[in-house]
Amino acid sequence: MLNIILFGPPGSGKGTQANLLKEKYQLLHISTGDLLREEIANGTKLGLEAKTLMDKGELVPDEVVVGMIQSKLDANKKAKGLILDGFPRTVKQAEALDQLLGELNSPINALVSIVVDEEELKQRLLLRGKESGRPDDQNESIIENRIKEYKNKTTAVATYYENKGKLHEINGVGDVETINKLICSTLDSMSKF
């Protein structure tokens, strides 16, 4: 199995790249942001609770997203591998993930960190807000809060996997295809699969 975490700040292009990679490597794509937006669209209790936090640019509780990941893994036991996008976002989530994957004897192979500077992120998110109408992309102070949450709670996840020798950083400024090639060559050059 090939289990990859696509990592990076909001607006770094994780979703776009995940969609390309899942085709090439035949992986199950799990985006906790998409799963949460599905819950909101379905009007579930979980969705309603998550929405109040997401609209402020805050993270939803670890137990909520870990529970969603667990159900996805349970429902897809035959997956050839995973591409995780937007998860894990805290060290607690990373530890829970490693526990779940440990039970499946299928650990994370790599965390690919997409590096984009803050000014570029803000511009991209504001543009995405105009095009997609995502409420958390509409307003600069919400975007700043998401970047703050990323710095305070999420960057430690990269260090967590760096300590396990699994961190791969790539430059995320450029066109989609160039960045995709960088990620693919990183994955193809990994010895473990």
Residues that bind ligand ADP (CB under 6 A): 10-11, 32-33, 36, 53-54, 57-60, 65, 86-87, 89, 93, 136, 146
DSSP letter for 31, please: E
Is the CB of 33 or the CB of 168 nearer to ligand ADP? Answer: 33
Least separation, in Å, of the C-beta of 149 and ligand ADP?
A: 7
191 Cβ neighbours under 8 A, 6+ residues apart:
none
Distance CA 80, CA 77 (A): 9
Query: Phi then psi for 4, rounded to 5 degrees?
Result: -120, 140
- Measured at CB, which residue is nearest to ligand ADP? 33
Is the CB of 102 or the CB of 135 nearer to ligand ADP? Answer: 135
Distance CA 107, CA 82 (A): 10
- CB distance 38 to 50 below 8 Å: no
Least separation, in Å, of the C-beta of 189 and ligand ADP?
A: 26
Is the CB of 36 or the CB of 73 nearer to ligand ADP? Answer: 36
Is the CB of 146 or the CB of 166 nearer to ligand ADP? Answer: 146
